[in-house]
Structure 1
Amino acid sequence: MDVSGHSRNARGPRARTRTRTRTGILLSAAAALAAAAIPVCAPHPTATAAPAPDPVVVDCFSKPQIRPEEYLLACGDGNNRLVDLTWNTWGPHTATATGTDLVNDCRPYCAAGRFRPYPVTVTLSHPQPWPDHPGTQRFSTIRLLYTDTAPSPVPKDVTYKLVYEPPPTPTP
């Protein structure tokens, strides 16, 4: 007998049903709390390689440039340079800009010549691996499309190679 004077086994079917219902609810609540407390094991995302950085354009001093405001085309004498470049795109395959090509007219000779402005659209393309710079691509061609007149005798649409490989080192 319990303190109330009733035998535990004397409970009726209704009391047993309530007890089982309470026990079921308590067990369900405990399971829900346990499930909330245990972190779900999510599958690890597949490791993906970071995207390769966009190519660079290499200047006359072998320095990588991205979206330069100016770019020297005539490294030897400085008589041709792109200025006021505004880049519309710079991506993994091409880069495009508008700007001005300042060209020395070399009249009567280059030291006494005047720099003349020519509006131009610039396109860099054909990225290639840059030797001795792992993971870096460099644009290898530049296209100049003069939107008005072109400096004589240059055609209005001209493409130049930007990649100059040094001569091989002689072996003894």
Structure 2
Amino acid sequence: MRHTTRTAVMLCAALGLTAAVGSASAVPTASPPTARAAAVRQATAPVLVDCLWHAKVRPGDFILACGDGNSRLVSLHWDSWGSKSARATGVNVVNDCDPYCAAGAFHPYAVVVKLDRPQPWKKHPQVQHWSRMTLTYLGDRPEQFGRVVTYPLWN
């Protein structure tokens, strides 16, 4: 029994030491130059401000109708996110509000999303945010919408 206990204690100590050494050696001493450059580029690109005043970069979804959620973008795939504009393809899911919004049905419409007109964000003036969004419907679209719809974005 004594030999078994000593072996178990030694084994646990060895495993603990291996985990500590393995963890310490896995931590990089400095970020590679390409990672630092990418972080700086990303930090200087404009952000998309959501309904809760959170800054988003390349979001997968975005609510257009903050008050009731009856129009939102989903399945966004970003082709570009630069300093002057950003472009994605996705789906605009819109409630037909028929006979009224609470009883309406949501319908999907394929869109191209363009963000532009970066401006300082009032909440964080050192951060640029997109101030305009343009949706171009690729096929069907809500009855009351034009093929191209432009929205000013909140600040």
Determine the C-alpha separation between the residues in 1 that align with 2:141 and 2:123: 36
1:67 corresponds to: 58
- Which amino acid in the other structure matches residue 123 of structure 1? K
Q: CA deviation at 1:88?
A: 0.2
Deviation of residue 132 (structure 1)?
3.5
The aligned runs of 1:29-68 (5 Å cut-off) are 53-68=44-59
Pair 1:116-2:114 in alignment: no
Residue 86 of structure 1, CA deviation? 0.1
1-structure distance, mates of 2:95, 2:149? 18
**Quick check: which has more Rg, 1 or 2?**
1
Q: 1:92 aligns with which of 66, 83, 88?
A: 83
For residues 1-172 of structure 1, what are the structure 2 equivalents within 5 Å? 53-164=44-155
Name which structure has the greater RCO, CA cutoff 8 Å, separation 6+: 2
Superposition RMSD in Å: 1.3
How many aligned residue pairs are there? 115
Aligned to 2:86, the other structure's residue is in SS state strand
The one-letter code matched in structure 1 to 2:92 is: D
Distance in 1 between residues matched to 2:56 and 2:81, nearest whole Å: 11
**Percent identity of equivalent pairs:** 50
Normalising by the residue count of structure 2, what TM-score does the alignment of the two structures yield? 0.71
CA distance in 1, matches of 2:119, 2:153: 11
1:111 alignment partner, SS class: helix
Which letter maps to 1:63?
H
Which has the higher mean CA deviation after the structures are superposed, 130-139 or 148-157?
130-139
Normalising by the residue count of structure 1, what TM-score does the alignment of the two structures yield? 0.64
Identify unmatched segments of 5+ residues in structure 1. 1-49, 165-172
| Letter matched to residue 52 of structure 2 | F
Instruction: Return the alpha-carbon distance in structure 2 between the equivalents of residues 74 and 108 of structure 1.
Output: 19
2:4 aligns with none
Moved over 3 A (4+): none
Deviation of 1:54 after TM superposition, in Å, equals 0.3
